[in-house]
Amino acid sequence: MELDLEKVMILLHRKWNSIREIERLTQELDETFGRNDGISAVMLLQLRADEMEKVEHCMEEIWQLGEGSREAYDKLHELIESDLGQAVGKTPEERKIFEIRRKTQKLLDELKVADQRLNQKMAGKKSFYKK
């Protein structure tokens, strides 16, 4: 069974959209904490958790695409786990997959910094990221 590269692209793009939403919610959460609005903060944290579940669901669906055959799994593993600094792609679909992964990784890196800053601001010395 051949790997459906278009479906992989769609799911990776869906994952990227959810991570963008997590980033937006994180910015809104920062503003909410600034206003000491605990009720809104709880709601935003739940919305973030919901988006994180969507990200996880996308990844589960992607890995299920590789269950059809060993070749499909090996190809999927190469597309999803390869080093983005060296990944090139042999087809337009593969190149698009690596492009989406690069965009996603950049967004995740930015989100980690924002999340760390927010955590330190809110938790102070009890922060997971304490200095």
Q: CB atoms < 10 A from the CB of 76, how many? A: 22
Place 124 in a pLDDT band, splitting at 50, 70 and 90: confident
Q: CB atoms < 10 A from the CB of 22, how many? A: 24
**What is the structure's pLDDT at 127?**
66
Question: Among 41, 13, 22, which Cα is nearest to 108's?
Answer: 22
Q: Where are the domains of the chain?
A: 5-126
Q: Read off the pLDDT of residues 70-80 as tens digits, 9 standing for 90 and up.
A: 999 999 999 99
Which runs of E-coded beta strand occur in 1-131? none
Q: Read off the pLDDT of residues 2-57 as tens digits, 9 standing for 90 and up.
A: 899 999 999 999 999 999 999 999 999 999 988 989 899 999 999 999 999 999 99
